[in-house]
Structure 1
Amino acid sequence: MGSRSEALSRASSRSSARRAEWGIALVAPTMRAIVVVQILLSVTSGASISVHAVAYWVLSLCVIAVSVLLMTQCLVTGTVRRGLWHGPDVLLAWIAIPAMNLLLPGSHVVGTWEAWASGFAINVAALAAAWMRPAVAVGHGLALGGWYLVWTSAAGTTSWETNLSNALTVPGYAAVVALLTYYLRALARDADRSREDAVAATRALELERYQLTVHDASSILRLLSDEDTPAEVLPGLRVQADREAKRLRTYLGAESAPAHPAVRTVGAMLATALEGFDDLPLEPAVALGAHVELDEDVWVAAGRAVTTVLHNVRLHARAHQVVVHADTDGETWEVVVSDDGVGFDQDSQPLGFGLDTQVGQALRDVGVSVDLRSAPGRGTSVTITGPVHEEDR
């Protein structure tokens, strides 16, 4: 029964949120690797023109070391949200901006990769947006961009327009990455919730299908196993048990489905449904509607519904008379199963699975209406009504 729901459960374990985190964790080291390569290509040249080559080398190597830690942890853990590199990465971005102004000639502070601080700051602000809350990440990007603007303006080597444009790049990338990662994670969470809902719905559907399949069979087995079941009831139960066993084997795929009559009439449906209920005080009166032909799905659903009603009568009604009546007015056909048993209070006693689902819902699903009336001490009547085919009219 659970093969489809189990498959969906296994699919649900491969979380969309987890896959989204992995995607971000693969992009982050790739972005940082590009910056590291650019720093490596220019670090020797930068050190050669720096006023303090050792300090320049130390700062560059610290950035490279933290970047290696970033790339390693992202690839090992599959997330950017956890990592020892968070604090040092942000701190180095803030230190590198004034350091470039102090260590390099003014002509190299803006627009060269010897002054790699601007490219590094943009990358840090963008990656921070993947592990900080979006509002915090954008605020950090604005602050870092402002810090960059202050120091490049102090250098006085380019116009304020150039400095402002470069500074705005930092929060711009932070905002873009913050929005993108927020959207991806929200989308992944929605996908996980939808998958969980699908698993729950499939399980509920399969449980209902299972209940529909075994409901009547369980009633038969209960009576067969009960030592108090009268001997005159057993032959009919064995006939019904054999029929249910064949139906269950068909459901499990062990046998092919039994062939239904070529002409599926109300009379043939009732003859099949009443088989094995010889222990009940049945009074069939079906001649008026017996000739009406039914679609196969209606024939099957109506037959199972009548069988379920009769099982309920056998188990609960303690009836002295059970009338099964069929009729037609040319437009509709009608089958009524009524007993003079103990009945029940419809207002205070809800319908069980058999009457509610296997009779009511199953028939409504094939376009057939059901009306059930009962009262304590006054028996129960179930009326099944369906349309007559145009050709039969």
Structure 2
Amino acid sequence: MALVAAGMRAVLLIQIGLGFLSGLRVASDPVVYTGLTAAVWIVSVGLIVQCVASGSARSGWWQLPDLVLAWVAYPALSLLLPQSMLTGTWAAWATAHAVNVAALSGAWLRPSLAVANGFALAIWGFAWIGLPTDDWGARIGDALTIPGYALVVALLAWYLRALAADADQSREDAVAAARALELQRYQLAVHDASSILRLLSDAETPAEALPGLRVQGSREANRLRHYLGVPAPQDGDAATRTVGTMLAAAMVGFDDLPLEPAIELGAHVVVPEPVWLAASRAVATVLHNVRLHAGASQVVVHADTDGPTWEVVVTDDGIGFDQATQPLGFGLATQVQQSLEALGIAVTIASAPARGTSVTITGPVTTS
């Protein structure tokens, strides 16, 4: 927009310059005519320089003088030049200058003000140049050019600003979404590790739980190294990606819990690697929650299959919670439910105060 404004004004100055000598020869006061033309040139050159240098037409010292000169030029040229020179010549440049000023004002005035100024300039110019002539139709057409250009440029400037605002908002939304995603990745990465560190640093953690916590801590350290970009060790080939090995990996280090595995009926089901990894972490997260919050005397891990689907159920007889009043924490809501549902695995969580909690994970049986 700034370069367009500078270009439009440069063309106008060339046209005014070409008609200057003609106007100077017939002007009733050559000094005033020269001074008025020079003022327009000075303000216009300032406009061009500032627009090119700043890349914007929205601010500048030239704005108010530009408007004033557009209003002054009509009566001044009408009094300085003969009536025959007021139309059809570049010696009387008031209308062309008014069109240019009104159009550029749409870039820095509010659209309503720019259009109102255009209509007012049109009426003002017609009063000085159009009324004294017999050709009102042509003069009205000339006058209406002023608000017409003001309206077009004002609408264009408004549209471009709205487009830029939308683009800025989209960039802000994208940055916020990226930050939220990175935060969620970080929370997913450290949720279980923080539980392990909390128990390892707690002097009241039972001694029988420490060996399992150290094993889990070593596994979490390897996983966090992978999160930071270090390649993780391979856990075996596709033949070992079964529900049984997934649950065995998830239950490592939970020897302090009263676990009762009952997985034989579904242990043989082969699952895709992404599901194996996510489900293993999800079950481990459930067991971490049981260890930290449930106070359970029995934790049953059950696996089964009915042919088309496989199912894993982790049930404890701990304190439970009221699902109607207590929202799920990050572990159950995100690390278990959201991460598995993103892979097409259904998760159902059922709990009640003093009746324990049950987490059911159900997925399709896939054939290789």
| TM-score (norm. length: structure 1) | 0.89
Please give the alpha-carbon distance, in whole angstroms, between the structure 2 residues aligned to 1:376 and 1:137: 68
Contact preservation (8 Å) 2:345, 2:362: yes
Tell me which residue corresponds to 1:172.
148
Q: Structure 2: any 5+ residue segments left out of the alignment?
A: none
Give the 3 Å change call, closer, same or farther, for CA 315–142 of structure 1 in structure 2.
Answer: same
The answer on whether the counterparts of 1:149 and 1:163 sit within 8 Å (CA) in structure 2 is: yes
1:332 corresponding residue in structure 2: 309
Which residue of the partner structure matches residue 219 of structure 1? 195
Query: Partner of 2:208 in structure 1?
Result: 232
Task: For 2:290, give the aligned amino acid.
Answer: V
Residues 1:150 and 2:127 are matched in the alignment: yes
Residue 353 (structure 1) aligned with residue 338 (structure 2)? no
TM-superposed CA distance for 1:334, in Å, is 0.9
- Contact 2:319-2:355 at 8 Å conserved across structures: yes
Deviations 1:265-311 (A, max 9, x none): 10111111111111112111111100111112211111111000111
| 8 Å Cα contact 1:246-1:255 kept in structure 2 | no
Code of the aligned partner of 1:95:
V
Tell me the residue number matched to 2:28.
Answer: 51
* Aligned position for 1:162: 138
Q: How many residues align?
A: 367
1:310 to 261, 274, 287: 287
Q: Which whole-Å CA distance do the structure 2 matches of 1:116 and 1:137 have between them?
A: 21
**2:65 matched residue in structure 1:** 88
Partner of 1:10: none
The SS at the match of 1:130 is coil
1:379 corresponds to = 356
Paired with 1:342 and 1:140, the residues of 2 have a C-alpha distance of 74
Partner of 1:244: 220
CA contact (8 A) 1:101 1:155 kept: no
Residue 6 of structure 1 aligns with which residue?
Answer: none
Measured in 1, the distance between the counterparts of 2:265 and 2:64 equals 87
Shift of 1:328: 0.9
Written as runs of structure 1 = structure 2, the 5 A alignment for 1:65-80 is 65-80=42-57
Aligned to 1:133: 110
Output one character per residue of 1:16-38: Cα deviation in whole Å (capped at 9) or x when no partner.
xxxxxxxx233222221221222
Q: Kindly tell me: are residues 257 and 196 of structure 1, through their superposed partners in 2, closer, same or farther at Cα, counting changes over 3 Å?
A: farther
C-alpha distance after superposition, 1:108-137 (max 9, x if no partner)? 211111111121111111111212211121
Instruction: Write the letter of the residue equivalent to 2:282.
Output: A
Cα distance in 1 between the residues matched to 2:234 and 2:190: 18
1:19-34 counterparts in 2 under 5 A? Answer: 24-34=1-11
Looking at structure 2, the residues matched to 372 and 128 of structure 1 have their Cα atoms a distance apart, in angstroms, of 63
* Aligned counterparts, 1:103-118, within 5 A: 103-118=80-95
TM-score when normalising by structure 2: 0.94
Q: Percent identity?
A: 62
Q: 1:390, CA displacement in angstroms?
A: 5.1
Give the secondary-structure state (helix, strand or coil) at the position aligned to 1:382.
strand
Structure 2: distance between partners of 1:376 and 1:173:
73
> What CA distance in whole angstroms lies between the structure 2 residues aligned with 1:72 and 1:257?
64
Supply the distance in 2 between the matched residues of 1:362 and 1:141 (Cα, whole angstroms): 60
CA contact (8 A) 1:305 1:358 kept: yes
Gaps of 5+ in 1: 1-23
1:185 aligns with 2:164: no
Q: Could you tell me which of 265, 268, 271 is aligned with 1:288?
A: 265
Q: How far apart are 1:169 and its partner, in Å?
A: 1.2
Task: Check whether the contact 1:370–1:382 (CA below 8 A) recurs between aligned residues.
Answer: yes
Q: Residue 187 of structure 1: CA displacement? A: 0.9
Q: Deviations over 1:179-202 (max 9, x none)?
A: 110111111111111211111122
Residue 224 of structure 1 deviates from its aligned partner by 1.2
SS at match of 1:186: helix
Rounded to whole Å, the distance in 1 between the matches of 2:236 and 2:180 is 29
Give me the whole-angstrom Cα distance separating, in 1, the residues matched to 2:161 and 2:145: 24
Q: 1:243 is aligned with what amino acid? A: R
Query: Which shows bigger deviation, 176-185 or 230-239?
Result: 230-239
CA distance in 2, matches of 1:346, 1:177: 59
Q: Distance in 2 between matches of 1:370 and 1:293?
A: 19
Alpha-carbon separation, structure 1, partners of 2:351 and 2:113: 66
Deviates more, 1:198-207 or 1:370-379: 370-379
Is 1:253 aligned with 2:229? Answer: yes
**255-264 vs 105-114, which deviates more?**
255-264
Tell me which of the two structures has the higher relative contact order, counting C-alpha pairs closer than 8 angstroms and 6 or more residues apart.
Answer: 1
Matched, 1:64 2:41: yes
The CA deviation at 1:155 is 4.3
